[in-house]
Amino acid sequence: MGNELALAKPDRIGQYPVVVKSGRDGSRSMVVAQVELSADRKEILSVGDNTMITAAGYYRMNQIAGISVITPPSVNIPGKGDMPNPYVQVDAHGRIEIIVVRKMAIGYSPIGNMVVTDETLHFNLPSYLLQDAMSLLKYKKTAGTQVKSSYLTEEQKKFGIFIPGIFDPITNDWLGVWIDFRQDDGQRMLSNHIQRQKFAERIASTICERNVMKKHPAIAKFNVQPVNGKVIIEVFGVVHDMDRKEINELASTVAEGRVDTRKVEYIRSIDSADSKEISVAETEVVSDSLDPKPAPVEQAAAPVAGPSETEQLVAKVRDMKDAVGVEAYSKIYRKLFTGKQVKSIYDLAKEDLSKFLELLNTEHKTQNETNKH
Nearest-CA neighbor of 123 among 313, 15, 275, 261? 275
Does pLDDT of 249 surpass 90? no
Give the model's confidence band at 153: pLDDT under 50 very low, under 70 low, under 90 confident, else very high. Answer: very high
Q: In 289-328, which positions are buried (b, 16+ CB within 10 angstroms) versus exposed (e)?
A: ebbbbbbbbebbbbbbeebeebbebbebbbebbbbbbbeb
| DSSP sequence for 74-138 | EEEETTTEEEESSEEEE-TTS-EEEEEEEEEEEEE-TTS-EEEEEEEEEEEHHHHHHHHHHHHHH
Residue 44 contacts by C-beta under 8 Å, 6 or more apart in sequence?
37, 38, 51, 52, 53, 54, 57, 224, 226, 229, 231, 304
Higher pLDDT, residue 32 or 29: 32
Residue 219 has a pLDDT of 83
Residue 245 has a pLDDT of 81
Does pLDDT of 62 surpass 80? yes
Cα–Cα distances (Å) from 123 to 9, 211, 214, 294, in that order, read 45, 13, 18, 15
CA dihedral 38, 43, 46, 49 (to 10 degrees): -90
pTM of the model: 0.67
Integer Cα distance of 301 and 333 in angstroms: 19
Does pLDDT of 362 surpass 70? yes
Pair type for strands 264-272 and 114-124: parallel
What's the angle, vertex CA 181, arms to CA 177 and CA 187, rounded to 5?
105
Does pLDDT of 303 surpass 50? no
Has residue 352 been placed in a domain?
yes
- Contact yes or no for 134/118 (Cβ under 8 A): no
Has residue 42 been placed in a domain?
no
Percent of the chain with pLDDT over 70: 77
Q: What is the count of structural domains for the chain? A: 1
Has residue 48 been placed in a domain?
no
Has residue 258 been placed in a domain?
no
- Contact yes or no for 125/203 (Cβ under 8 A): no
Domain that holds residue 363: 307-372
Residue 66 contacts by C-beta under 8 Å, 6 or more apart in sequence?
107, 108, 218, 237, 238, 240
Has residue 111 been placed in a domain?
no
Per the prediction, the chain carries an average pLDDT of 79
- The DSSP letter of residue 223 is B
46 Ramachandran zone, left/alpha/beta (phi>0; psi -120 to 50): beta
Residue 27 has a pLDDT of 47
- Contact yes or no for 195/287 (Cβ under 8 A): no
Has residue 363 been placed in a domain?
yes
